[in-house]
Structures are given as C-alpha cells and as structure tokens.
A and B are shown apart, each in its own frame.
Chain A
Amino acid sequence: MFRTHQTTRRRGNVALATILAVGLAFLSACSGERADSTTPGASGDTVRLQGAGATFPNPLYQKWLSEYGKINPQARIDYQSIGSGGGIQQIQSQTVDFGASDTPLTNEDLEKAPGELVHIPTVLGAVVITYNLQSVAQPLRFSPDVVADIFLGKIKRWDDARIQADNPGVGLPATDISVVHRSDGSGTTAVFTDYLAKVSPEWKTKPGAGKSIDWPVGIGGKGNEGVSGQVKNTPNTIGYVELAYAVQTKLPVALIKNKSGNFVEPSLDAVTAAAAESLPTTPEDLRVSITDAAGANAYPISSYTYILVYKEQKDAAKGKALVDFLWWSIHEGERFARDLQYAPLPAEIVERASAKLNSITAGGKTLRGA
C-alpha cells in the first residue's frame, strides 16, 4: 500500500502517545475516585456502623439488626457474613467497627490488632453428628472415642463391636462407613475438631484442630448443605453439621456421651447447660472452649460465637451506638435466639459480657450510662 518508512516510525510514536494518554486518564480517574470515597458523608444524626465476620450467627444478627433498627432508627448498622477469618482480618485492619468470629482469637491474632480487642459472646451453637442408615430407626448413640476413631478411619464398619456396645439391641448393617466432612474452612469444623482433640490423644497429635484440617478419611462437602446433601443421598454415611441446620432440615442426629457418662441429645437447653457448667473455668476475657463440658445434661460439642470490638473507641458517637446495640443484643436480643435455633447465653455470662461492654471507652470515658 502507500505506508512508507516514515509513517511506520510515526506509528511507533502514536502507540507511545496513546499509552501515555490512556495511562494519565486512568491515573486521574483513580485519584478522583479515591478523593470521593474519603470525603466524610455528612449524614446528620444517623450513625453508620459496619460489621463483618462469621456466617454461622448471620441469620440471628440480621434479625437483631432489623429489630434494633425499628426501635433505634438513627443507628444504621450493616453486617456482612464473610466468614470468621475475614471478620478477624477486617477488625485487625480497622476497616469495620465490629468483627465476628465463631472461635475466640488466638494470642497471636490479638497481638496483631492495633488496640486491645474485647470478646463479647452473643449466642451458643452446637455441632451434631448426622448419618444415613436406612435400617436403623432409633437415634444412634456414640462414645467420644468411637466418634474420634470413626473420623480417624480406625473404625471402618457400621457393625463394629464398639459402635454396637454403645447401641445395644440396634441392628447395625454390615457395611463400610463413609465419612463426610466440611471442605470449606468453618467454625463448625473448628468446634468439632477441638472436641475430638480433647477426647482423643491420637486426634490431638495427628490431624489436630482447626477450621480446615488434613482429614484422615472421607469426602468433603461444601457448607452444611453440602455435607447434609451427601449424607442424605448416600447410604451408610456419617457427617457433622450445625445444630440449627440439622433441626431445620430434620436430619437424624446422634446422642453423644458427655464427660459425666450420660448420652445427651443435642438441644438448645443442653448447649446452654454446657456453657453454664463451664463457668468455673471461663477466664476473665471470656475466651473459652466449652467442648467436652462436665455436667449431667451438658451437650459436649458446643461453643460460643463472639463479636469483637476495640476496648478504646476512636469516635465517641459511633462507640456509644455500638455499645448500646451490643447491650440490647445480649439482653433483649437473646429472646430471638431460640426461634432461630441458637442457644441463648446463661445469665451469668450475660452479666460478665455486660461488664465487658461497660469497660469500653472513648477518649478515656466509658460509653454506657454516659
């Protein structure tokens, strides 16, 4: 065609110029946007609070937000259920006003935060064993060591003598056990493995406890619905899900032998009992594991879920709104817990959590009753 040497060289210049032009436009667009987002939104008397974290208590927290919004319309509170890990990270980096976690923070995590964090327990949850055995009508019973050995892969068959010993007179099928566990990192897994590590020395040394672990056997399902879906669909399976989920979807659940030697059916009262029985060992900062609790009626695979707030609030107005909301939650809010299948806190823990809320300050002044 008629493209000469000069025009080809000019095309090089063209490319360079365009890169510069687009680059500059891009940069200015970015900086413009950044300037916009940092301008404080002048919103009159309303206080906006952001929270993020655990998915397990999300249905209850959303209920609280909507109920609290009715009586306190000037407080605009949002909660995003992004998972406990995300909640911990966001409260550490101070991008939210409160975080939420299904497990208490480790000392290491607490040190990473730029200020002192307070744990406020909100409700209790539990993990239940569910299974699919067509020939068995009555609920199965398990001793702690039997549960651990099934999930370790040491007990391989349903008609194992040790399972039979826990369930006298029950006709157990002569089939292999298929284990189903959670594949996604979750507080449910953390509570369940924390329990197994307490009752089985072997579990403690090998797989250990955590939100995600290296499972010795079994297949992984995503979420409570993934585990229960596979258990429901596959004969001879065993898995674990949250109590609330099991109740709502009417799964068969097993009775677990607790420290006092009683087989306890998972129920909200048995979970609250586990928390109440653990009071003597509950430390001042309320970071406690209540799995394998003593007490005749305590269900042994239970746990608190927490909201995390800074003890020293930067903004007095926001801090006051936050403390007021949390105070309402653990007092009036607890009555919504049962309907949504969460176990309410024992009275003494409500008292101790209230004291924690009273200790929260802004500019050296306490926020409650101010």
Chain B
Amino acid sequence: MQNPQPTMPTPASAYGARARVWNWRRALSPTGNTGDAVFRAVLFGCALMVLLLVAAMIAAMAANSRLSLREFGFGFLTSSEWNPVTGRFGALPFIYGTIVSSLLALLVSVPVSLGVAVFLVEQAPRRLSRPITFLVELLAAIPSVVYGLWGIFVLAPVLRQYVEPPLQKWFGWLPFFQGPITGIGLLTGGIILAIMITPIISAVVRDVLAAVPVTQREAALALGATRWETTRVVLANGAPGIAGAIILGLGRAIGETMAVTMVIGNRAQISASLFEPSYTIASVIANEFTEASEAIYLSALVELGLILFLVTFIINAAARLLVWSVTRATSGAART
C-alpha cells in the first residue's frame, strides 16, 4: 500500500497549480491519486478502443467499396438486380429482406419474451422460476448454426405441413400469405430469428423487472390494484430497460447470418408474400464473399457491409428516439 501523503495535494497547491509548471499527475486525476489516475487512463483507453475500432471498420469498408460506390452511386440502394455474371449489383432486395425478417422476429418475439419475463418475476413460484431462468439463459448460448439446422430439418417441414396451409386457407386473401408453400422463406426466417432472440430479450427484461423496487408493487397492491394492474405499473417502471432489451434483440436479429441463411431461401427478390424466399444482407455476404474474385463484385459485397452498418445504426437510433419520446411522455404524464 502506498502512502497517500505525498500525492494528496492540499487545496492551496491544487488551486495554485495554474501558474506553475504543468503537473501531469495532477492533470490526469483531479483528485490527485496516482492509482486513480492510472485506473482512469486505462478505462478511458478501453472506451477509446471501441471508438477506434468502429472508425477503423468504417474506414476499411468505405475504402474497399470505393469501386462499387463510384460505379453504381446512389443507384446501388434502389436497384433490385444482383447479377455476378454481368457485374450489375443493387442492394434493395437485401435491405428489404433484412428489415422485414428482423421486424417479423420482433413481432413474434416481444410479446412472448415479455410474457416469459413477467411470469418469472411476478408469478412463478421460486422452485419453477429458477430452472426456467436457467433454461432461458441456456437457449441464449446455443450457436446459431444449430438453430439453422433445426430450422431446416424440423421447423421448415412443420411450417410447410401444419402452419402455412391453414394460414393460406384462411388469410390467403392477404398478400402476405400467397404463393407456393415450401416451408422455406421470409416467414421461416423471421420465426427462427424470433426463437433466437426470445431468450436474450426475456433474460434482460427479467433482470429489468427484478430491479423494480418491491415498494412499487406494494404501493399498487395497497391501493387495491389487481395483479394485472400491478404488473402494468411494474412494466411502466421498467419501460426504458425493456426498450433496451428489445433493441439488443433487434441488433442480434439484423446481424444474424447462419441460421437465417439456412431457411430464408436466399433469393434476391422483393415480394409481399411471407411464403416467398428472400435474402438478408448478412446472408449474401456470408454466401458469396469467399468465392467472389472480380474486383467490382468484392467491392459491391463490401458496400453491402457498409449498408448493414448504416441500417443497424439508423434502426438503433430510431428505436432510441422512440423510447425517449415515449418515456418522456409517460413520465411527464405521471408527474401531472
């Protein structure tokens, strides 16, 4: 242990430092402790690494996609053609597939995840909640290729035989459920993603709800609220955390590659029907990058990576904005 005496400046010397020679040790830590200064520098370095990494990735992708950026310009975003033979490339079907499959996943996963989390925190007896929590966390750790194989051999045949035919029979007048039934396509991709992100969202939401003070529940119950009303109070309390969990899940859905590739059908097309095959940005990169040898082809694939980066960024920003506006409105309402 070091003696704090020499490093601990008296208030007089701290405020008089301005006129004197620059003291690095004091400059690094306003509190004047060497250990703290080093600790602070290390932490700042860690944070800086993340920034450097993001900057380096964007720079590398921008540099490597220069050829494609120059050749196709803005048309890359609006073109639906993806033809490696003729060297014409457009990203629209991939952007569409990525966004629709991720949103579909959220649509299925969020209600289920909230249900799981609320049950575990609010309703389940302890001897049931412990093993279920453990299982949920176990599901989050399964590698995505395993989900993909399960998707091909179990999920796709089940959807083809038992789910898609009734959907088409009853809701076939909707454009979402038309076309041939193959068990492979946007719907299957969305569902496999939903299954993959449910453990993540529910695990985080569970922690968020567990952190809501018990006094909130007791207050609600004391006012004569039912279980359902109490749960709503708890959910409102954890809203920002829940939103964070959903964004985390969305992030995984957008970037997920292997499992989606195995069940989405890998066809660069835009179709309203969820039964039709589709394609995501991450999938096309994983599929075609290893064998792409022409410069323009490689460049177009790298530009897709850049777009995935931007799509993730925009969706994240939009989600945060939404959360911010919603929570601001509710907390404002609570105050009045």
Contacts and interface: CB of A to CB of B under 8 A. Distances in A.
Nearest to A84: B291
Interface stretch (A219-227, A306-314, A333-341, A354-362): A219-227
Interface string B282-320: 010011111111000000000000000000000000000
Contacts of B15: 4, 6
A17 B27 contact: yes
A82 B85 contact: no
Given A6-B15, A17-B28, A213-B83, A178 B152 contact: no
Interface in B157-199: 157, 160, 180, 182-185
A234 B159 CA distance: 12
B242 interface: no
B265 interface: yes
B28 A212 contact: no
Given A22-B44, A178-B180, A212-B84, A221 B291 contact: no
Interface string A13-34: 1110111011001100000000
B27 A184 contact: no
Contact of B291 (A26, A83, A219): A83
B85 A209 contact: yes
A211 B291 CA distance: 7
Given A17-B24, A211-B84, A219-B266, A184 B290 contact: yes
B82 interface: yes
B261 interface: yes
Interface string B132-147: 0000000000000000
Given A184-B291, A185-B290, A229 B153 contact: yes
Interface-centre pick from A14, A84, A187, A215 (highest chain B CB count, 10 A): A14
Contacts, number: 135
Contacts of A215: 267
Given A4-B15, A220-B265, A10 B293 contact: no
A207 interface: yes
A207 B84 CA distance: 10
B49 to A, nearest CB: 8
Given A17-B24, A214-B84, A233-B156, A184 B293 contact: no
Nearest to B294: A108
A219 B15 CA distance: 72
B293 to A, nearest CB: 4
A214 B85 contact: yes
B92 interface: no
A14 B28 contact: yes
Nearest to A178: B182
A187 B293 CA distance: 12
B85 A213 contact: yes
Interface in B21-56: 22, 24, 26-30, 40-41, 44-45, 48, 52
A229 B152 contact: yes
B323 to A, nearest CB: 29
Interface stretch (A85-93, A120-128, A283-291): A85-93
Given A7-B30, A220-B267, A233-B157, A85 B291 contact: yes
B93 to A, nearest CB: 11
A250 interface: no
A82 B292 CA distance: 12
A26 B51 CA distance: 13
Contacts of B266: 183, 219-222
B325 interface: no
Contacts of A186: 291
Nearest to A235: B160
B200 interface: no
B45 A214 contact: no
A210 interface: yes
A226 B28 contact: no
A258 interface: no
A173 interface: no
B86 interface: yes
Contacts of B20: none
A207 B83 CA distance: 8
A234 B183 contact: yes
B84 A220 contact: no
A230 B48 CA distance: 46
Contacts of A25: 45
A109 B292 CA distance: 12
B127 interface: no
Nearest to B83: A214
B126 interface: no
A222 B160 contact: no
Contacts of A26: 52
A18 B157 contact: no
B48 A85 contact: no
Given A18-B45, A214-B84, A185 B267 contact: no
A218 interface: yes
Contacts of A212: 84, 287-288, 291-292
Interface string A198-212: 000000000111111
Contacts of A109: 293
Contacts of A221: 262, 266
A3 interface: yes
Contact of A219 (B41, B52, B182, B289): B182
A11 interface: yes
A10 B25 CA distance: 12
B287 A222 contact: yes
Interface string B235-266: 00000000000000000000000000110011
Given A22-B45, A183-B261, A213-B85, A85 B290 contact: yes
A85 B293 contact: yes
A274 to B, nearest CB: 24
B18 interface: yes
B122 interface: no
B41 A89 contact: no
A86 to B, nearest CB: 6
B83 A226 contact: no
A13 to B, nearest CB: 5
Contacts of B287: 183-185, 212, 220, 222
Given A26-B52, A89-B293, A214-B83, 7 more contacts: A3-B30, A25-B45, A184-B287, A184-B290, A185-B292, A219-B182, A230-B156
3 closest cross-chain pairs (CB), A and B: A185-B291, A220-B266, A83-B290
